[in-house]
Structure 1
């Protein structure tokens, strides 16, 4: 039901947006007929939206009434798996290839400020060189 609604709404919305583009392109000609183009655009856009909503309801209902439910074999119900804490294994890096307890690398010097010269020796500010 949800998929039918989403597909129908998506298709009709795309059509509505294309219609709005063509309305926007042609609405300027209404000024020649002594009508305010903005008011005409708002009025016609509302009419188009209302028509889209009506079409959406009608098409969703048509699709839902055409659906035929087929009685067949139902898959067996899925049994809920019970998890015991003894069955769960926590990956603590042993499987990742290290296993020898590598430590996090720490910075030995002071932190380089954003406006300080870059330590690579380029002469640029750190934020323009390696801090980007």
Structure 2
């Protein structure tokens, strides 16, 4: 069970009875901490400069906090909508909301810690890989054969107060423009 909980977060060798130096609980804990620190130090050594890993840590931490905080806000909204049902159980909804919200906040902070460690320890450094264009440009469906000139009106525009083109002598709005 320890392996199923630990290995997805910290990619260490699976814990076996032969691997444990001393069979006490605290010594196992200390041994796993030391291995995790060594693993992180080896990850740091992969980066060309120390500032790059610090910047990566900041970006990952901000990304994880942002995602978990948005999820927490949505969960709190769901809790707020359903907390009124606690009154049926002879419990004060306000007290239950505070208690549940506090528990959810603690769970969120723990999830932030776990997710940050998981992402930092599973990150891989790649050299600058140049992307090569795989798809070839075959053309577009755009027709460039016509010149891009504004469309011209064939006949002159007749305004409402101009004389009617039919020759009646009336204004256009009183004659043919009424139709």
Normalised by the size of structure 1, how large is the TM-score? 0.52
List per-residue Cα deviations over 1:84-127 (Å, max 9, x = no partner).
xxxxxxxxxxxxxxxxxxxxxxxxxxxxxxxxxxxxxxxxxxxx
- Between the aligned partners of 1:71 and 1:3, the Cα distance in structure 2 is 19
List per-residue Cα deviations over 1:21-49 (Å, max 9, x = no partner).
00000001101110000100000000000
For structure 2, the 5+ residue unaligned runs are: 1-56, 129-179
- The answer on 1:31 being equivalent to 2:87 is yes
Normalised by the size of structure 2, how large is the TM-score? 0.39
After the TM superposition, which residues 91-110 of structure 1 pair with which residues of structure 2 at under 5 Å, given as runs? none
Partner of 1:48: 104
User: Higher RCO, 1 or 2 (CA under 8 Å, sep at least 6)?
Assistant: 2
**Structure label with greater radius of gyration:** 2
- Structure with the higher fraction of residues in helix conformation: 2
- The answer on 1:6 being equivalent to 2:100 is no
Runs of 4+ in 1 over 3 A off after TM superposition: none
